[in-house]
Structures are given as C-alpha cells and as structure tokens.
Amino acid sequence: MRNPNARSERRSGGVTLIHARYTVPVRPQGVVHENYCVAIEGDLILDVLPLADARRRWPDQEIISLPEHVLLPGLVNAHTHTPMTLLRGYADDMELPVWLKEHIWPAERKFVGPEFVADGTRLAVAEMIRSGTTCFNDMYFFPDATIDVCLETGMRASIGITIIEIETAWASDVDSYIEKGLRLQQQWKSQPLVSFTLSPHAPYTVSDETLSRVSHLSAEWGLPVHMHLLETEWEIKQSHQQHDLHPLNRLEQHGLLNSSLQAVHMTQLSSDDIARLAKSGVNVVHCPQSNLKLASGICPLTELWKAGINVALGTDGAAANNDLDLLAEAQTAGLLAKGISGDAKAVNANQVLDMMTINGARALGLGERTGSIEPGKQADLCALDLSAPETQPLHHVVSQLIYAASRRQFTDVWVAGKRLLDGGRLTTIDLDSVIRSARKWQSRLAGLEAETETEVKELAL
C-alpha cells in the first residue's frame, strides 16, 4: 500500500535526492544517519549527506521524502533457483533424496523450458523486489530466459552457468552446458545488471574431469565458482565411497578451494574444515531455512565468523524454502546462531545486516558495485516503513529491522537508480499477469501429480 505520508517532488535537473528518517549505509558498520539524503545521479550514488546540506547544494532537484522509513542498501540474495517458485509447496515435508528424485526432478523433466523459466523467474523477481532484494544469484536451466526477465524488470542478477552431468532440456552434456553458458557470458558481459558465475551443481553430480575444467575456466575467464557443498552428511559418505576423498579434498585437488569459490550450504563442517576455508579465502552462502526444512543440518555461523570467513545469505529455491524472503532468512540466521552457540552475544544485528548486504555482494564478486550506500556505488536501495505497530516503539533502528520487521514493510526499491517499487507498487511488472501465469502452472503440475499417483497405484496392484 502506498504510504500516504510519502512526498515526491519532481523538479528540473539530473540529481535525485532520497530523504529518509534514517539511513543505514552498512559501511561504516553500525552507523545510522538521521535525516540524511542519498543523492543519485543516473545509476550511481553521488553523495550521502544531511538533508539541509542537500537542499542547499541542489535546491532545484527532485526530492523523495520517506519520513517514517529506514533507507538501506538493496538486499543481496546469494543463492536462488528462481524458476522453482512455480514448485513452491509442490512437495513438502520429505527428506532431500525423496524430495528431489521422486517429485522435483520428474516435474522438471516434464515441464522445464523457456516458458517455465521465464514465468517462474518473473514471479520470483516480483516477490524479491517486494521484499527489498535488488540482486540475486541464480543457478538453473535456460539462463537466457532468466536474463531476459531481469532486463525486462530492471533487476540485478548474477547468472550461474549451470554444469551437471545429467542431460536436461537445456543441455545434453557437460560440453554443451559450458559452451552455451560461456556464449551467454560473452553476449551479455557488457550489460551492467548482469554478471556470471560458473555453477557446477554439486560434488556428487560432477566428475573429477569436470571439476578440473571448471577450475581452468574460472582462472581463464575470471569467473567465480558457485556450488552446493557439504549440504548433507550423505554427500561426505558418497564422496569417500566413490572417490576415497572428502569433498573439500577433491575441490582442493582441482584448484577450486580459493577466494573465487561461493560454497553454498556448508552444514557439515569440522573445525579443521573451517580453518582450511579461512586460509583459502572461500566465501560461504548460508541458507538456514532451507537447511532446517529439509533437515540437512546447520551451518556453524559463529565459528565461521570467528575464523574471519565471509558469510552471505541465500534463500535457496522456493520449492525448498518456501519463499524468497531474505529478511526472514536473516532473522532465522541470527536467532539460530545464538541458540546453537548458547551465547546471546554470538551474533549482533549489524553483523546479520552485513550478511544480507555487503557480505552477499562480496561473495558474488560485486562488492565494489553494490551492498552498501557509498558514493560511486550503484544506486541499489530499499526503504522499509518503521511506523507499523510491529516496529514501534523505535529504540534501535537496526535491531528493529532484524528482530521485528517484516518484508511487508518494504515500500520502495531502486536498482541502478531506477525505481522498481514505488510506495508498494511494482513499476516494471504486471502483477496480475504474473499471478495468472503461476495458476496456469499450478494446473499443469497438478495434472502430473495425478498421473504419478495413478502409476504408483497400478504398480502396487
């Protein structure tokens, strides 16, 4: 709902001033400005300064006033499978192997194509913008369709070049996955909203030869590597059985254990593993709600932080989570770390805020571009209304944000200076059309589930 107290005045000139009651730039950590302006010129942050100084410096420029809000860097979702929003709630309350092999993979084999990916990504982007996210990392098939949706909607994305030794509708073999992915990377390398990662699915779905190729390609093309890693105890047992090595040893053997690695999940870590990650400069992407829901394990957040490891946040796909609410993910991460460690001081609200902003940007190799409100960075911003009863009285801004606020309080979002959410209204997405498409896929997937149930009954007879 549009905030009735928000005031927007369009005037002549090329600078836009956003004035919020509070501005949290994230860097320096812990700073909260009151009655400041963020000045935007084009797609960049020009300055961060007191309201009075901004008015004197640019007396004739546009002013967007958000009198009850906190202005933040746009949130960075460091791990998603966005088209899987169409599988939200499709298969719940099951173990990971059953969930994947008996439900998710069969549905993907039947339906995944450009239309599925475009519709699912559009639904995901709408959800993410409405919850303050301005950048996401994606790992899925038909990434060309994902890119098209991001450019259409104005969303920033880090696109995974998915690599898996399974034939899919997108590619027949490893050579095809790599060739198609690198062709896309070359096509879009100059597009400022799009970046790329090499994304081998997981150690148990890629061979040693493929890991070696990924390592060489990462070095040759300067691309980060994004990978599910140490998600379950089963993964470690399988690696020992098939390769006689721990998964981390396999990656190290192929030159992948370095600062270019974005290691997703990491629930099965020993103290020696953590020391090795810290020495290698590996980035960890923590997906607490997905890991809890699938009973995969718990990432040891406090130990990773103590070791100096950069930890970002991801939601995982909506088929596993079941939403793309990064603020809720941050709340879960902070509370879980306190509960597991038995130390209420183990994690503070500012550290949790870092995880969903600057840490995510750094993990994706975008730390110089986004993740904090600083002059020269991209104008990726989000505003959250603190006037709601759930965040009153307001003793500490960042604490209320992390421990009390809801994604429904986000009202405004900018990516590269373009306003994608204006008083709660999406400006680049037809929400009614998105919902109609989602319901179309609901019917199609329901038909597949009915077919599956019939086959199971026939086999039982």
Confidence of residue 100 (pLDDT cuts 50, 70, 90): confident
Which of 146, 144, 180, 184 shows the shortest CA–CA distance to 164? 180
Average confidence (pLDDT) over 356-362: 98
What is the distance between the terminal CA atoms of the chain, rounded to a whole angstrom?
54
- Distance, in Å, from the CA atom of 76 to the CA atom of 397, rounded to the nearest integer, reads 20
User: Do the Cβ atoms of 86 and 441 come closer than 8 Å?
Assistant: yes
SS3 156: strand
pTM of the model: 0.94
| pLDDT at residue 450, rounded to an integer | 61
pLDDT one-digit tens code per residue, 219-269? 999 999 999 999 999 999 999 999 999 999 999 999 999 999 999 999 999
Question: Residue 93, Cβ neighbours under 10 Å: how many?
Answer: 8
Least confident interval from 9-18, 31-40, 227-236, 445-454: 9-18
One-letter amino acid of 355:
M
Contacts 24+ apart (CB under 8 A), 27-30: 27/358, 27/372, 27/373, 27/374, 29/350, 29/354, 30/350, 30/398
Average pLDDT over residues 39-50: 98
Q: What percent of the chain has pLDDT over 90?
A: 90
Distance CA 60, CA 9 (A): 10
Whether 458 has a pLDDT exceeding 90, the answer reads: no
Angle (CA) 312 318 324, round 5°: 50
Determine the average pLDDT of the residues in 183-195: 98
399 pLDDT higher than 70? yes
pLDDT value at position 428?
98
Domains defined along the chain, listed by start: 7-73+375-426 (2.30.40.10), 75-363 (3.20.20.140)
- Please state the rounded mean pLDDT for residues 386-405: 98
pLDDT higher for 4 or 21? 21
Residue 316 has pLDDT above 90, yes or no: yes
Strand 15-23 with 33-41, pairing: antiparallel
